[in-house]
Structure 1
Amino acid sequence: MQLSEELARTFQAMGRFLHEREASLSRSDFGVLLRLADTGCTRSRDLAAAEGLDPSTMSRRLASLEERGFIRRSPDPDDRRAQVLSLTDAGEDALRTERRRRVGSVTDALADWPPEEQEELARLLGRLADSLEAAPRPRSPG
């Protein structure tokens, strides 16, 4: 198989693998909380753009996260008409728990791999992540 086919198969298998195990957060909620943790405070429209979602879809997701006490809205110090989003302590706890669960699930699945192969996989995945992060962003249409 070609590399691109193996990557697609791996990403699908990883998604299915994690989804089939009891999650404390949905994949979508995990992604939003993770992005908020990485960026700190941000506006909902910036979050929607970063996640590639329609603002109305993001608005519903954020309302659910806020209802569960995972995020808070505060006035934007630069523009009092706007609001910025941030994680609450409960949101940080939920994110930490879900990260631990995901890492533990994958670690358990690799338990029969020799340590040197686990280390090589970690090194190559890190290199792949670096390359993807460094790749030029496509220009937005319009």
Structure 2
Amino acid sequence: MDDHLPEALRAVEDELAALLRRGRALSWEVAREVHPNLEPNAYGLLLWLRRSGSIRLTDLATRLGVGKGTLSRQIAGLEGLGLVRRDPDPTDRRAAQLSLTEEGTRRFDAARAARLGQIRRTMKNWPKRDVEDFARLLHRFNETF
């Protein structure tokens, strides 16, 4: 990217700040929909578990870029809320497979449906191509950030 775009970069920074501010507020709201005692940053963890079905703690820690100890503490909290379970890994008795419980899946899916409804309402007048471009560019940004 050319260095002669300082105004465009400042505009990106401003819009990212607004998006992050709204995202934090939404994270609190969605987390409370999943469970009243759920920490807001746990929604992303539940999303990964929902997508994976079942995943080893070490693999999830690598994907999320967090330490195993930190992730293990977060998982323990989610287990205590009845949202996540650890099962022995059939291929390695030292490892555990993580997955959502039935209750965790039910609660997550309900909260996610509400969140997707908000996004759908926000973007309802956008052309399909704009929504696709927005998703593609956000993905590209997140992959390279």
Settle same-fold status: TM greater than 0.5: yes
1:29 aligns with 2:38: no
CA contact (8 A) 1:18 1:102 kept: no
Distance, in Å, in 2 between the alignment partners of 1:41 and 1:78 is 13
Q: Secondary structure at the match of 1:53?
A: coil
- Shift of the 84–126 alpha-carbon distance from structure 1 to 2, 3 Å rule, reads same
For residues 112-127 of structure 1, what are the structure 2 equivalents within 5 Å?
Answer: 115=125, 117-127=126-136
Distance, in Å, in 2 between the alignment partners of 1:6 and 1:28 is 26
- Whichever residue aligns with residue 87 of structure 2, its letter is S
- Shift of the 20–118 alpha-carbon distance from structure 1 to 2, 3 Å rule, reads farther
2:109 pairs with 87, 96, 101, which one?
96
Q: How many residues align?
A: 131
* Offset of residue 36 of structure 1: 1.2
Deviations 1:50-69 (A, max 9, x none): 11112221111100111111
Distance, in Å, in 2 between the alignment partners of 1:132 and 1:110 is 20
Distance, in Å, in 2 between the alignment partners of 1:89 and 1:7 is 40
Q: What's the Cα RMSD here?
A: 2.8
1:20 pairs with 25, 28, 41, which one?
25
Off by >6 Å, runs of 4+ in structure 1: none
TM-score between the two structures when normalised by the length of structure 1: 0.73
- Shift of the 126–57 alpha-carbon distance from structure 1 to 2, 3 Å rule, reads same
Deviations 1:54-91 (A, max 9, x none): 22211111001111111111110101221110111111
| Runs of 5+ unmatched residues, structure 2 | 1-6
1:74 aligns with 2:97: no
Distance, in Å, in 1 between the alignment partners of 2:40 and 2:95 is 27
- Shift of the 126–19 alpha-carbon distance from structure 1 to 2, 3 Å rule, reads closer
| Runs of 5+ unmatched residues, structure 1 | 138-142
Distance, in Å, in 2 between the alignment partners of 1:46 and 1:40 is 13
CA contact (8 A) 2:123 2:131 kept: no
CA contact (8 A) 1:30 1:98 kept: no
* Offset of residue 127 of structure 1: 2.6
Q: Secondary structure at the match of 2:75?
A: helix
